[in-house]
Amino acid sequence: MRRRKVRNIGFTLLCCLIATCPANQSFGDALGSLTLGAFLTKLADQIDQIVTDARSTGDAVAMEGGREAALAITNARNAYSDSLNETVGKLDPEIKNTTDKLQTLVNDLSTGAIKTVDLATSRALVIVSTLPFRNNEPQVRSTTPRFVVPSESVDIRIKFEGNFLDSARDGFKPSLLIEGKVYDAEAQNDTQHIEFQIPAGTLFHVKSADNAGRLQYAHITLTVPWSKSTAYGLWHSKEEDHFDLILGSLPISPGKIVLMHTTKADVTLAPKDFQSGPFHLASTKEAGNQDHRDTPYSVTPDEGWHVVRGTSVFKVFSAQGDWSHSFVSDDADRVRYDVTTIHHGLSGGSSGSVDFRILFKEVTTQTQTSSTTEELNLEWGDSKAITYDAGTWKIIFTSFDGKHSEFTGPSSTNPFLDLRNDGGSTIVTTKDTATLQWP
């Protein structure tokens, strides 16, 4: 594009001035030797770099602020078209005041001193409002939408607001140059509004992996013919003003939306061996020479575990004399055996004694948690219902500007996503770009 060539020439000229200015000449003096046209081109190049950096970081304030600054610069170029060949150091004080304000605006955008789009817009509008436009000369105050959305199926509509006093006249229809193609304004344009319809898929590369999840921008040139009145208004000439502007584009979706669903299930673990004890029962002299008939021994499993019925074993380590045992039960999470030892005196026989343990298998269940993830491929204005029970799901959202958010229920605080209840389900909805309030 012609504008690009001019910018390169201006930047080269600037570099030459820096390299060749005498040692006793300041950089400010070198800028003062630039023509107004070259100086405005330098500012436009700085805006290009700001917007390029903003695209990489998802910084919408810098990108949209850059767009507003570019609008002010191109309006200044048109308003001061008769002074573009004058050097900055010799400019009329009123024009010099405007160039200083433009440079300060660009510097503040570059350093991040401007924190909101509203501040960038208001400062750019203040500059534009003081420009000395000639009678009937077109002005552009704003463009909408703030960001377009690239699409392969939906046309892009771009509107300009400002003063376009001759645009409804025959032969004065505005046009828009985008990537080498010229588009004529819609028929309904009037003195304050110009609208263009750009065919779907012709602007921005929506299927490029590099661009799909990032902010994009394009240089566009609005051409507005107008009728210039000559001396004393005796006759008129047809002129054209060119507005070199920046058009921003959102990614095709707000970002990466991941739905995580968590489930819990009781899982039975493999049985393990339980061993009680040891126990000792005796009717010998040392134990008091007493009979012990059907003495109950009950054992319970470890806390949280359960008896596997039918697995108990009465394990004897040592025994003598008259003793016996019998299995009673293994229900109610306990195992019971009755044990007997008998005393024998002078009548003969050996008194009973036994050392034993009670063994069985025990088992338990454990709650295990498992999670599955699903990426929700939602473009702007799309919705998805979450039918999982409350407390079992989470939305993990990484927006295209790098911010990370998590949701476990309804929420309306995110600039890009809404979550709301609807008949027992949660509906995830991406914002409609027509009503998007961001940044």
Sheet holding 365-376, edge to edge: 365-376, 255-268, 393-399, 404-407
Distance CA 195, CA 111 (A): 34
Take residue 276 and report the two structure tokens written for it.
């009680």
Amino acid 8: pLDDT: 36
Distance CA 287, CA 351 (A): 10
Task: Flag whether pLDDT at 99 surpasses 90.
Answer: yes
Distance CA 71, CA 122 (A): 12
Amino acid 439: pLDDT: 73
SS3 390: coil
Q: What is the pLDDT of residues 6-33, one digit of tens each?
A: 333 333 333 433 333 444 433 345 566 8
Q: Would you place residue 357 in the very low, low, confident or very high pLDDT band (cuts 50, 70, 90)?
A: very high
Task: Flag whether pLDDT at 188 surpasses 90.
Answer: no
Amino acid 189: pLDDT: 81
Tell me which architecture the domain covering 133-250 has in CATH.
Sandwich (2.60)
Q: Would you place residue 235 in the very low, low, confident or very high pLDDT band (cuts 50, 70, 90)?
A: confident
Whole-structure pTM value: 0.65
Amino acid 210: pLDDT: 56
Cis peptide before 199 (omega within 30 of 0): no
Q: Would you place residue 1 in the very low, low, confident or very high pLDDT band (cuts 50, 70, 90)?
A: very low
Lowest mean pLDDT among 309-313, 361-365, 389-393: 389-393
Average pLDDT, the chain: 87
Q: Would you place residue 36 in the very low, low, confident or very high pLDDT band (cuts 50, 70, 90)?
A: very high
Spans of all domains in the chain:
1-132, 133-250, 256-265+370-435, 273-363
Amino acid 2: pLDDT: 34
Task: Flag whether pLDDT at 319 surpasses 70.
Answer: yes
Percent of the chain surpassing pLDDT 70: 90
Mean pLDDT of 212-221: 81
Task: Single out the residue of 155, 129, 150 nearest to residue 140, CA to CA.
Answer: 129
Report CA-CA distances (Å) from 389 to 125, 262, 419: 51, 10, 15
Lowest mean pLDDT among 115-124, 141-150, 347-356: 141-150
Distance CA 428, CA 409 (A): 10
Amino acid 279: pLDDT: 97
Q: What is the pLDDT of residues 258-313, one digit of tens each?
A: 999 999 999 999 999 999 989 999 999 999 999 999 999 999 999 999 999 999 99
SS3 280: strand
Task: Single out the residue of 415, 378, 371, 377 nearest to residue 394, CA to CA.
Answer: 371
Amino acid 6: pLDDT: 33
Report CA-CA distances (Å) from 97 to 8, 62, 80, 362: 25, 24, 13, 90
Mean pLDDT of 28-48: 84
Task: Single out the residue of 3, 12, 66 nearest to residue 34, CA to CA.
Answer: 12
Mean pLDDT of 160-176: 92
Phi, psi of 418, deg, nearest 5:
-125, 140
CATH code for the domain defined by 1-132 = 1.20.120
Tracing tokens 């298998």 back to the chain, one arrives at 361
